[in-house]
Structure 1
Amino acid sequence: MSEIKVVPRFSQDRGNADHGWLKTFHTFSFAMYHDMNHERYGALRVINEDRVASHTGFGTHSHREFEIFSYVVEGELEHKDSMGNVEVLKRGDIQLTSAGTGISHSEKAHGDQPVHFLQIWSLPTTSRLQPKYFTRHFSDAEKQDAWVRVVASVNAEGVQKDLREGSKQGEGPAPVQSPLTMYATLLSPRKSLNLAVKGMKGYVHVVMRSGYNEGPATGATIQISGQNLKEGDGAYLQVPLGSDVVVENVGDRVAEVILFDLE
């Protein structure tokens, strides 16, 4: 069986900016950050790791023809949109907005604490869809040393695609109009996990849990096919057909890992 090819995307090489109210990293070209070598990967177009100061955030703005999801790491994220959805998202929550023909929304830190979340965009396979909004909740206990499918293609097995309007309605992954599946885990030291991916491309990201860091990555450490990745690091994966992705925690603390199967 052929070896999985791992092309690291080290944290210090990502685009990043400190705007005071917002500290952000960009895996792909975004806003004022442009890198022709990192524009997208499969259906993935944006992976931003954002920290928003308390009582601030992204004011009302518009999107169309993107699938936009937020994975809350710490703090509380207040969401409001033009479909009438108003919700405060907490750790373990994932919110997905299928922008379709167009929506307007705001995303702000709720309460007196900052919020740390991943903002992810993907490209839909069908244009001019009706905008929709979904939320799901996945506890730390569910993710402990296990892969949890938090987002999946709308047509994938077990996906409830008609429940919406917030309030964590429905079970299983949030339905995305893109050919991807997003998994999450909290991997303990000296533990490893296998994942049989469907596609031949993947992307992995280690969440920067131990604090904002513009320099070389530190903290929790995982290994894939001999490549070490620390908090904030990611990697492009090229997966031979029939191969499993094996992620091992080789550090001394729990690693929060996000893995995309790009079908």
Structure 2
Amino acid sequence: MSVKFVPRPSQERGHADHDWLKTFHTFSFAMYQDLEHMHYGPLRVINEDRVAPHTGFGTHGHREFEIFSYIVSGELEHGDSMGNREVLKRGDLQMTSAGTGIRHSEKAHGQKEVHFLQIWSLPSQSGLKPQYFTRHFPDAEKTDKWAKIVAPVGSDGVVEKREAVGPAPVHSGLSLFASLISPSTTLKHTLVQRKAYFHVIQTSGYNPGKPSGAQVKLSAGGEELVLREGDGVYIMGEAGATLEVKNEGEKVAEVILFDLE
């Protein structure tokens, strides 16, 4: 099956260093605006954020977005206008369906920096009632296999409860998978939709220059691409096409994969 890769190199992402916040933007966000990278299907934001201890995003509002946070390291303190208050740790995923409007804050908790991915998608319908969900996926569930951590409402295994086992529900045509791939290990994924987006998380440390750290090779339909930490790739193909992801480096690669309508 025909598949096309369009690389999104780490060093070409939007980037800002505010001292308390070091961030990369895959898509246009805040002061970074690029008409070639506005969204991809329903996927609107992938920000790779590092927030310094005792700092964070003060209370602010959102509406008509599905907003989720994937915790890589450290602890993230969340509070919102729905009354939710908690500290999220590695392996935790929180999903806020902002709907008609919410206000929330996100801050580093404790003495360490928090590194997390802030992801937004466009909802498939407007005017939804705001909701909040949390899920936990320990490393063992992601080691050398795909863990489905977000999936559309109504999908198999999706439970619309604040806390539950299985993927967090999202009101978008989007499924999100995560994995920790050991060196020399290959994983496969069969596309359910025609589009996908793949990203290698920058786990070895903040690096606004040339990517280093983990190295993976992505293959599909005769296409091949080598990626390092912070790199991503737009994938255009056909439902049923098979992607292969091989860790060619010497350290574990933490990766995420969006299957998009």
* In structure 1, distance between residues paired with 2:120 and 2:81: 19
Deviations along 1:14-60, whole A, 9 cap, x unmatched?
Answer: 00000000000000000000000000000000000000000000000
Other-structure match for 2:190: 196
* Cα distance per residue 1:79-120 (max 9 Å; x no partner): 000000001000000000000000000000001111000000
Select 2:238's aligned residue among 237, 240, 249: 240
Structure 1 stretch displaced more, 101-110 or 151-160: 151-160
Q: 1:46-85 residue pairs with structure 2 within 5 A?
A: 46-85=45-84
- 2:5 is matched with 6
Q: How far is 1:241 from its partner?
A: 3.1
* CA RMSD in angstroms, aligned pairs only: 0.7
Distance (whole Å) between structure 1 residues aligned to residue 164 and residue 58 of structure 2: 28
Q: Which residue of the partner structure matches residue 186 of structure 1?
A: 180
Structure 1 residues 207-250: Cα deviation after superposition (integer angstroms, max 9, x where no partner): 00000001111110111122001100000001223211111111
Separation in 1, partners of 2:90, 2:73 = 5
Query: Retained in 2: the 8 A contact 1:6–1:224?
Result: no
Distance 1:76 1:141 in 2: 19
User: 255, 259, 262: which one pairs with 2:260?
Assistant: 262
Task: Provide the identity percentage.
Answer: 64
> Which residue in the other structure is 1:128 paired with?
127
- Unmatched 5+ stretches in structure 2: none
1:116-150 Cα shifts (integer Å, max 9, x gaps): 00000000001000000000000001100000000
CA deviations 1:135-171 (Å, max 9, x no partner) are 000000110000000000012111001x11xxxx211
Matches within 5 A, 1:1-263: 1-2=1-2, 4-161=3-160, 163-164=161-162, 169-225=163-219, 226-263=224-261
Q: Could you tell me the TM-score, scaled by structure 1's length?
A: 0.97
Letter of the structure 2 residue corresponding to residue 255 of structure 1: A
1:257 is paired with a residue whose SS is: strand
SS of aligned partner of 1:141? helix
**Matched length:** 257
Deviation string for 1:184-227 (max 9, x for gaps)?
00001110111112101000000000000011111101111220
Where do 5+ consecutive residues of structure 1 fail to align? none
Is 2:191–2:238's contact at 8 Å kept on the other side of the alignment? Answer: no
